[in-house]
């Protein structure tokens, strides 16, 4: 594999799976980095007889689990997870994360919250000192479709910045619809001092389902670097 970003994602995923996964129930995040984690999990199941049941955070994660022949579970059967492994769009020094670039933030946050340990895997482009340095698309906010304009206006009034309704692009006219049947606003923030306060404030707006700020949830992150090493952050 020659692409340095893909190599970095793979290295981070391998290390996280090797260091954190033991027999038990595993939460599987979404995105392109998680693909490498699922591949590694499947390899360990085959080579070592690892006994895992995987709980997906999205349609994509479910497909990955099935394609790799792993045991599929759900939160109703397994509300307590040993570890959740997931990617991120950006992480600051304290492992405050922006997530939801793939639109799966609500289930991802649920899986992170149900796990004894939440481990982040990402490539070097995602590691920042402060949020917003690398990720310029804003903070995803999942909203009930009928409330999107009301929420949009409330966010601007309360917190400033600007929101965009996420659109599907060329393959379908209209907005992105999440796995839960909702819309996504991408809120471009300005001057945030307290991320926890913002996370709570966004979720207090009626019509908001969840937002993509993950504050104080991750304790460990692995970032694949361009030189082939893996940088670890622990908080
Ligand atoms: O939050 C997510 C999806 O909702 C992903 O974890 C995030 O977008 C990172 O994706 P990738 O591993 O493709 O960089």
What atom in ligand 1 is closest to the CA of residue 99? 1
User: Is 194 among the domain residues?
Assistant: yes
Q: What is the pLDDT of residue 1?
A: 64
- Check pLDDT > 80 for residue 217: yes
Q: For residue 134, is it within any domain? A: no
CB distance 224 to ligand 1 below 6 Å: no
- How far is the C-alpha of 131 from the C-alpha of 128, rounded, in Å? 6
Could you say which of 108, 142, 199, 210 is catalytic?
108
Q: Is the C-beta atom of 101 inside 6 A of ligand 1? A: yes
Give me ligand 1 centre to Cα 92, in Å.
15
- Burial readout 166-195 (b: 16 or more C-beta within 10 A, e: otherwise): beeeeeeeebbebbeebbbbbbebeebeeb
Which two tokens mark 37?
């984690």
Catalytic residue check, 51: no
In a shared domain, residues 59 and 118: yes
Q: What is the predicted pLDDT for the residue at 46?
A: 98
CA 215 to chain centre: 12
Residues 32 and 48 in one domain: yes
Task: Compute the distance between CA of residue 39 and CA of residue 42 in angstroms, rounded to an integer.
Answer: 5
Check whether 2 has a pLDDT greater than 90.
no
Q: How many structural domains is the chain composed of?
A: 2
What six digits make up the tokens of 110? 């649920």
Going by alpha carbons, the residue nearest to atom 3 of ligand 1 is 102
In this structure, the answer to whether residues 96 and 45 fall within a common structural domain is yes
User: Residue 14: what pLDDT?
Assistant: 98
Residue 47 CB neighbours (<10 A)? 8
Give me the chain's average pLDDT, please. Answer: 97
- Is the CB of 90 inside a 6 Å radius of any atom of ligand 1? no
55 and 69 assigned to the same domain: yes
| Residue, of 134 and 2, whose pLDDT is higher | 134
Residues 116 and 151 in one domain: no
Same domain for 164 and 229, yes or no, is: no
Domain that holds residue 175: 139-211
Q: Are residues 191 and 79 in the same domain?
A: no
Q: ipTM exceeding 0.95?
A: yes
The fraction of the chain above a pLDDT of 70, given in percent, is 100
Domain annotation covers residue 172? yes
CATH of the domain at 77: 3.40.50.1360
Q: From residue 28, how far is each of 39, 114, 117, 197 by CA, in Å? A: 12, 12, 12, 27
Report which ligand 1 atom has the smallest distance to the Cα of 32: 13
pLDDT of 175 > 90? The answer is yes
Residue 100 domain-assigned? yes
Please tell me the distance from the alpha carbon of residue 169 to that of residue 174, in angstroms, as a whole number.
8
CA 231 to chain centre: 19
Does 167 fall in a domain?
Answer: yes
- Please report, for the domain that includes residue 156, its CATH number: 3.30.70.260
pLDDT by residue (tens digit) across 74-123?
999 999 999 999 999 999 999 999 999 999 999 999 999 999 999 999 99
pLDDT at 72: 98
Ligand 1 pocket residue status of 140, Cβ below 6 Å: no
Nearest-10 Cα torsion for 30, 31, 35, 41: -30
* Residue to mutate (ligand 1; options 33, 57, 126, 142; most atoms within 8 A of CB): 33
Output the residue whose Cα is nearest ligand 1's atom 6: 87
**Ligand 1 contacts CB of residue 207 (under 6 A):** no
- Tell me: the pLDDT tens digits for 90-103? 999 999 999 999 99
* 179 and 220 together in one domain: no
Q: How far is the CA of 179 from the centre of ligand 1 (A)?
A: 15
Same domain, 103 and 14: yes
């Amino acid at each position: 594999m020659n692409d340095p970003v893909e190599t970095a994602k793979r290295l981070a995923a391998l290390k996280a799976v090797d260091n954190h996964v033991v027999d038990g129930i595993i939460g599987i995040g979404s995105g392109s980095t998680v693909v490498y984690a699922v591949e590694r999990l499947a390899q360990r199941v085959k080579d070592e007889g690892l006994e895992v049941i995987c709980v997906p955070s999205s349609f994509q994660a479910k497909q990955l689990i099935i394609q790799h022949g792993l045991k599929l579970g759900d939160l109703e059967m397994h509300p307590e997870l040993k570890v959740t492994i997931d990617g991120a769009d950006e992480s600051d020094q304290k492992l405050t994360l922006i997530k939801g670039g793939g639109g799966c933030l609500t289930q991802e946050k649920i899986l992170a919250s149900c796990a004894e340990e939440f481990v982040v895997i990402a490539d070097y482009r995602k590691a920042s000192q402060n949020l917003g340095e690398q990720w310029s698309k804003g903070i995803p906010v999942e909203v009930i479709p009928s409330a999107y304009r009301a929420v949009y206006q409330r966010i601007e009034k309360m917190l400033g910045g600007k929101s965009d309704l996420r659109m599907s692009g060329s393959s379908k006219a209209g907005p992105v619809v999440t796995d839960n049947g909702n819309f996504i606003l991408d809120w471009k923030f300005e001057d945030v001092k307290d991320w926890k306060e913002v996370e709570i404030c966004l979720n207090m707006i009626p019509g908001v389902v969840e937002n993509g700020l993950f504050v104080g949830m991750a304790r460990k992150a692995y970032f694949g670097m361009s030189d082939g090493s893996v940088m670890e952050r622990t908080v």
